[in-house]
Structure 1
């Protein structure tokens, strides 16, 4: 039985990795200027034309890597939130964390320049502050002594908080000039805007720092996913671990959306699909969830870039079209 479960896990991991590779190749080839697999291969080997190298290394690769990293960060953030809160509908977008990060992005844009070179590494910190403040406020409103975090209350407070914060954000944007407004409008729509190599280097350290911690906390997450009393009986310091993991979840989500735009539902769908494939043990479904999150966001961005010519459709809109019906299905089921 254990052997068959391990075999299934390996098959799923290999399948998810192959899916991500296939989408990567399709995404690299897709755009206003299409590249054939042979052109891509020759360019990687250093035998491509200068035009192909420009398209591949300057435009396609950094955008695709940002999308993959952001998808992984959002998926792991959603997985953590679902386990810590014991709420299968938890997602950084639905619970208002993305909205809090977005509000701080707006505040930054109001007072500082939006040139990439000036706010490349500062913007994720602003987004983190906004996400942490929002998560703390939601936590305080949802927590009841003796009851802990009640899932339904958490969801209602989070959805209400997201609505309020988005309302404040839209009000503040009325003070913007055309350039600032277009930037925030694209950000809120979930358009992948951080599509240069420096943005990859800005997001990558956040994942390098926090992802190993998340995987190391897999057993703790298994316990927290059970009833709070059971977790205490297993020797888990529930309050301490909840705070630490919530901070990590907010950090992953805030850093991801700061360069990818306000994208929801990736953190909802990827963990659910991963659990359906390999079961609820975090040692198995966390890595699968990360790969599926990257694949989902990359699929959305590739579809968006393939439609409507050069302007395309923001990846956040494509994900929402897919994720909103799935969210309603889970609401009805759970």
Structure 2
């Protein structure tokens, strides 16, 4: 007879065990929570290889690398469950083969960002519309990761100094993010509406759901996909589809484009951009910029003028 606890409790135990060993597992914890939701929706008491593979291949059109990441997370959890109940199979590592097919960033134009904010305004109720309009604007204007925006508390906003405090980021560090006064004003307007709609907050989050709770990453993805379709924003290739995270890429590229156009010393400014984005190594920032043809053209022009001046 199996002594396996309910799968959701087993997941909590698994994550707690791994974290005591020093693993943060933020992304894995979120991904596995979605996997358990999938099992619940299909009435499954324990995961099987078929469940793991079917779930890992969601959503339709996801990159091979992303599907492999999802399967890898489930494999670790399944190995833990197998130790508790040997009848539970661990999915083979080669079920989803992948190579270096990192997703190509979708770089949004100002017009597309504006369209997203407009169509988000049609969401109902009004608080939900305002939340997604504010979220999209914040990602585009501040270059935040989606998880960082979700984790923001109201107390992290310093309206007097036009600053956001991003705490315990992807790499366990905190940073200050200056925002333009117009962005600070938009956040102030959102807080006013939020507090009118829900005068008794049930959590300290800056951005809240209609229930007053902190936003969930999975729900943001689903809603964002709907908004991009309504705005007529479609994938550009098999590896380039519009994602919320790409608003961060777009912020980085727009910043460097502006520096090139205004004659700023881009090389000297790159460490500042890396720090602003919370990157631990400038090479990660350069990856953000590598998929922008316009940026590469400006860089080529700058190099051509430099070489011409030396001749």
| TM value normalised by structure 1 | 0.27
Larger relative contact order (CA 8 Å, sep ≥ 6):
1
Q: Going by fraction, where is helix more abundant, 1 or 2?
A: 1
Bigger Rg over Cα: 2
When the two structures are superposed, what TM-score results if normalisation uses the length of structure 2? 0.29
